[in-house]
Structure 1
Amino acid sequence: MKNKLTGNRYIMDVGELKTELFFETDESMIFTVIEGGSLTESGYSEKVKITVARVRSKVYMVAWKEKSGATVTHVEDHKNGIIYSNATLPDGSFYNMKGTIHPVQDSVTE
């Protein structure tokens, strides 16, 4: 079943990390780091396999594992433009971040 994120691009900004998220299919996303701060290299891009769970209208939990071994889980509230991001890096460090998420183009997420 197609989720409402598929085919859309969003900008996620959690302060020191800013990325573009492109939901290519129901099961894949391409993230591109716009500003990596001290967390990662700016300009880095990777296609990842994702799991998407609809929490309620316009709120999704999205999870994936990166090539590096890092794991990421987002709760994306598209109604209010808020994102909660949790990431565990291969060295065991854990990041809990909150910021904004906005569509790059007009999109409808239910």
Structure 2
Amino acid sequence: MKKILLIAASALSLASLTVHAQATDPHAVPQAADAEFSPTGKSYNVDFGDQQFRLDFKSARQMVFTSPDGKNSATVDINVTPIGNDVYMIYWSRRPGQYVVHVDDFRNGVAYTNIFLPDGKSSRRRGTLVEVK
């Protein structure tokens, strides 16, 4: 009888572990909290040569994107993944079918962008990232 109870208890424990493992994705990356995202409340000019933008980080979940002439401005929801040493991967979409992924190194002032457009074209650039004082 003890063996049957032990086997039943082991089976229940294994089932519980299996359900828990399915509920949590070990490869999922949590989004940064405001306290972890050093650019929160700051503004940065980004210069990719032929493209310049101002990024105003309201929080680790929202940013205002503005063109240099101020005519093109949008508040976008962002997803921020901390990489380390003030380096973050930041994702947003300004309009349906357009996706932007930055890897921004705020410590060294370097920005990398990958922009995917609705027509299937893409753009990859490296540029500067300067805090607006």
TM-score class normalised by the smaller sequence:
0.7 to 0.9
Structure with higher Rg: it is 2
Match of 1:52 among 67, 77, 80: 80
Q: 2:64 corresponds to which letter in structure 1?
A: I
Following TM superposition, by how much is the alpha carbon of 1:66 offset from its aligned partner in structure 2, in angstroms? 1.1
Change (3 A) 1:52 1:13: same
Q: 1:89 corresponds to which letter in structure 2?
A: L
Rounded Cα–Cα distance in structure 2 between residues aligned with 1:66 and 1:79 = 26
Name the count of aligned residue pairs.
Answer: 99
Kindly report structure 1 stretches of 4+ aligned residues shifted beyond 2 Å. none
Q: 2:87 corresponds to which letter in structure 1?
A: V
2:82 corresponds to 1:23? no
Gaps of 5+ in 1: 36-41, 106-110
TM-score calculated relative to the size of structure 1: 0.84
Greater share of helix? 2
Following TM superposition, by how much is the alpha carbon of 1:26 offset from its aligned partner in structure 2, in angstroms? 1.7
Following TM superposition, by how much is the alpha carbon of 1:91 offset from its aligned partner in structure 2, in angstroms? 0.8
Following TM superposition, by how much is the alpha carbon of 1:67 offset from its aligned partner in structure 2, in angstroms? 2.0
2:54 partner SS: strand
RCO higher in 1 or 2 (8 Å CA, sep ≥ 6)? 1
TM-score calculated relative to the size of structure 2: 0.70
Equivalence map 1:1-110=2 (5 Å): 1-2=33-34, 3-34=37-68, 43-105=71-133
**Percent identity of equivalent pairs:** 34
Q: CA RMSD in A?
A: 1.3
Gaps of 5+ in 2: 1-32
Rounded Cα–Cα distance in structure 1 between residues aligned with 2:107 and 2:39 = 13
Greater share of strand? 1
Following TM superposition, by how much is the alpha carbon of 1:69 offset from its aligned partner in structure 2, in angstroms? 2.7
